[in-house]
Amino acid sequence: MPLDTSTTYPLTKLRLDGRRWNELRLLQAQISTNPASSGSSYLAMGNTAILCSVHGPAEGRRGDATGGAAGSAGAVVEVDVNVAGFAGVDRKRRAGGSDKQSTRIASILRSAFQSHLHTHLYPHSTISIHVSVLSADGSLLAAAVNACTLALVDAGIPMPGLLCGCTAGMSGSASTPRDPNNDFLDPLLDLSLPEEQELPFLTVGTTTAVPVGEAAMVNEDEDEMKVAMLTMDSKVHCTYVETMLAVGIDGCKQIREILEGVIKKSARR
């Protein structure tokens, strides 16, 4: 590549788009964008733009072969991810939810929100989440998690906290053990698409943790976070995982403050 992060970052400590290692891309969000759905949101993290709409809790489809909603003790979360044909650099012909990337993002979102929401309040019901990716520029799973959280809050579905996602990576190939004397790699926050294709990264999602035991008495003001979602596909030595996790969790904290501002601004409107 003519310009890549692993060669230019050690010289200038700036990434390809001019950010430092711990800076998020511009996050713009809006809720109640679609009056036809129960809850809807639009979220843009940099050039990654996602529309999300939520329908439900509604009657589960009867007669469905895999229909667990009809007799289940809680609501069943269904996720449908649609990456538009014009979302990437090259136009894809079959724009639908049938490719491997959409199916994998949908299954991760379904398992994350199925265990996250208060589904026991809605027996025999289905909560349908529809995610449309308008533009894909890296951190697609993290942006989808944030958009789904905003849409579910707009729909009024109870949850114990906001589930926020973020990506974190390293500024070079991290496949060898970390050398404390010669540590030149830096963690990176909120990777864009060229960085994702080149560097190792992970996606982490955190939600509000409830202190247990004696921790409930101490640290009343400090909010602890629980890792609710974690995916990584890259080859990384284990000494770097903790650094990437810490940076990702801090990024989720920044995103949560931005999302809370969006919800409060919309609530006061």
With a CB cutoff of 8 Å and minimum separation 6, the contacts of 161 are 207, 208
Query: Tokens 């409930």, residue?
Result: 216
With a CB cutoff of 8 Å and minimum separation 6, the contacts of 219 are 211
Q: Is there binding between residue 252 and other proteins (CB under 8 A)?
A: no
Q: Where are the alpha helices (DSSP H) in 15-162?
A: 100-116, 140-155
Q: What is the DSSP letter of 57?
A: E
Percent of residues in the chain assigned helix, strand, coil, to nearest 5: 30, 25, 45
CA nearest to 16, candidates 24, 27, 8: 8
- Which tokens is 82 given? 């649609």
Residues 14-53: x where in contact with other proteins by CB under 8 A, - otherwise, as a string: -----------------------xx---------------
Of 106, 112, 144, 157, which one interacts with other proteins (CB under 8 A)? 157
Nearer to other proteins, 161 or 194 (CB): 161
Size of the site for other proteins (CB under 8 A): 35
Of 41, 125, 171, 203, which one interacts with other proteins (CB under 8 A)? 125
Q: Is there binding between residue 70 and other proteins (CB under 8 A)?
A: yes
The region of 45-53, 102-110, 147-155, 227-235 touching other proteins under the rule CB under 8 A is 147-155
Residue 197: how many other CB atoms lie within 10 Å? 12
Minimum gap (Å) between residue 70 Cβ and other proteins: 6
Minimum gap (Å) between residue 219 Cβ and other proteins: 12
Minimum gap (Å) between residue 267 Cβ and other proteins: 5
C-beta of residue 153 within 8 angstroms of C-beta of residue 39: yes
Cis bond leading into 57, ω under 30°?
A: yes
In three-state secondary structure terms, 266 is helix
Residues 191-230: x where in contact with other proteins by CB under 8 A, - otherwise, as a string: ----------------xx-xxx---x--------------
Q: Is there binding between residue 161 and other proteins (CB under 8 A)?
A: yes
Nearer to other proteins, 46 or 205 (CB): 205
Of 42, 113, 122, 201, which one interacts with other proteins (CB under 8 A)? 122
CA–CA distance, 247 with 162 (Å, rounded to integer): 18
Residues at the contact surface with other proteins, assessed by CB under 8 A: 37-38, 57-59, 61-62, 70-71, 118, 122, 124-125, 153-162, 207-208, 210-212, 216, 260, 263-264, 267-269
